């Protein structure tokens, strides 16, 4: 199981939003490139970049920073935020992303998303499912769709997509622990998918609990930036897997 740090970017800075609210923002002083290099040195292989400005503006904004991180590290980067057209996907790909992190389009425009998958291949997508209860929310969690999580996973998986991240919105940024029952049910009903758990990570023991139920990776954001998951843990954990 891989640990995947999350870089939420706004105005070129690392930030965290509480419950996706742009009005509840915490900034962190670290330089994104230097931090990415430190994480790589600690054994991290993957990086999850969320372009918050892009999500708000409807187009990728942090392409220069993406290119800089991709060009100065060997991290496998998945990038999301503002991916609303084939042209945007191409821009992100050309800047160095290895995976497209998408959510709203897969939910709201399934025909368009199918065209994306046919063009780039299902292995290039990490599809995000953000849920309240078991119903999906989109557009920065502002719109509740009424679409059932498992219906959505089945529909997208049928396109050949196997990589999914599932976020329990109520736990994101709250440091209350991951939604274990939800992830257990996803693993039980869809054992063939590569499940990324996201939201609620608060302590190092959470990683082992998620590994035991078969998660392929875990996204960690606030717990790291608030010092609850130290950098040295990444080195210890990644070495334990080799």
Active-site hit among 8, 78, 168, 206: 8
Is 130 assigned a catalytic role?
yes
Token representation of residue 225: 């930036």
200 neighbors 183 (Cβ within 8 angstroms): no
Sequence-distant (6+) residues with CB within 8 A of 149 are 129, 131, 134, 135, 136, 166, 186
**Beta strands 76-80; 125-132: pairing state:** unpaired
Active-site hit among 130, 168, 172, 206: 130
Catalytic site positions: 8, 130
């Amino acid at each position: 199981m891989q640990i995947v740090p999350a870089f939420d970017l706004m105005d070129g800075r690392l930030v965290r939003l509480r419950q996706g609210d742009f009005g509840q923002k915490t900034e962190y002083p670290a330089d994104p490139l230097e931090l990415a290099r430190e994480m790589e040195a600690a054994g991290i292989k993957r990086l999850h970049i969320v372009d918050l400005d892009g999500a708000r503006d409807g187009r990728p904004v942090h392409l220069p920073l993406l290119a800089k991180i991709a060009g100065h590290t060997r991290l496998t980067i998945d990038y999301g935020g503002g991916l609303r057209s084939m042209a945007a996907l191409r821009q992100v790909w050309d800047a160095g992303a290895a995976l497209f992190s998408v959510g709203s389009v897969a939910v709201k425009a399934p025909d368009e998303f199918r065209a994306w998958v046919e063009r780039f291949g299902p292995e290039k997508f990490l599809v995000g499912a953000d849920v309240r209860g078991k119903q999906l929310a989109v557009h920065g969690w502002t719109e509740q769709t009424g679409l059932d999580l498992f219906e959505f996973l089945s529909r997208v998986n049928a396109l050949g997509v196997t990589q999914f991240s599932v976020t329990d919105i109520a736990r994101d940024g709250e440091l209350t622990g991951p939604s274990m029952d939800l992830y257990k049910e996803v693993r039980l009903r869809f054992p063939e998918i590569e499940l990324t758990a996201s939201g609620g990570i608060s302590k190092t023991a959470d990683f082992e609990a998620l590994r035991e139920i078969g998660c392929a990776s875990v996204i960690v954001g606030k717990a790291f930036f608030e010092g609850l998951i130290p950098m040295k843990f990444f080195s210890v954990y990644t070495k334990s897997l080799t």
